[in-house]
Amino acid sequence: MDQLTDDQVDIFCSMDEQRLAEYKLSFKQLNRNERGLITIRELGTMIRSLGENPSEKELEEIFKASDLDGNGEIDFKEFCLVMARFENEEEREMCEVFKMFDRDGDGFITQNDLLQLLENTKFKSDKKVVRQMLRTGDSTGDGRISFTEFLTMIKKTFAYPPKL
């Protein structure tokens, strides 16, 4: 494989063992040719399983950008980089959702943030619901939900991102 860029090295090096194990399992499930390489068709299957529906042209562009050595197939390192890109995009989207909850912009979801949000919904301000949401998401017990706690809560609740 060609030399990785500094950004790619940073992405690859920042992956923890659990994430790499998940990627290995996903890669093994996708790798139908048993040669340790994924084809464009297999990549399309993986991307569609994540809820995306790229056109053939978009899929070709993703594949071309992921096939760093240009051999027409994606090896495990290239696969990890593709997965990290998708997960980073998903995390950016979740950040936008978090900001909707974090009404005062202080970086935490508090009881007041949730009450404000509920005021504008059909639920109105049900303090029991708010307390339950805070108990569910607040792993530190400080009465606030950080972005990290929010992501953990979403992943547990909705099995996010979907497994292959």
CB 31 within 8 A of CB 23: no
User: Length of the chain in residues, anyone?
Assistant: 164
| Residue-wise pLDDT tens digits, 108-128 | 888 888 887 777 776 655 677
Q: How far apart are CA 37 and CA 123, in angstroms?
A: 50
Q: What is the pLDDT of residue 16?
A: 73
Considering the entire predicted model, what is its pTM?
0.47
Is the model's pLDDT at 156 over the cut of 50? Answer: yes
The pair of three-digit structure tokens given for residue 60, joined into one six-digit string: 């070709």
139 phi and psi, to 5 degrees?
-80, -20
Q: How far apart are CA 123 and CA 38, in angstroms?
A: 47
The pair of three-digit structure tokens given for residue 7, joined into one six-digit string: 């950004």
Is the model's pLDDT at 151 over the cut of 50? Answer: yes
Q: What is the mean pLDDT of residues 46-63?
A: 83
Q: What is the pLDDT of residue 160?
A: 46
Which CATH number, 3.20.20.70, 1.10.238.10, 1.25.40.10, 1.10.287.3510, labels domain 6-89? Answer: 1.10.238.10
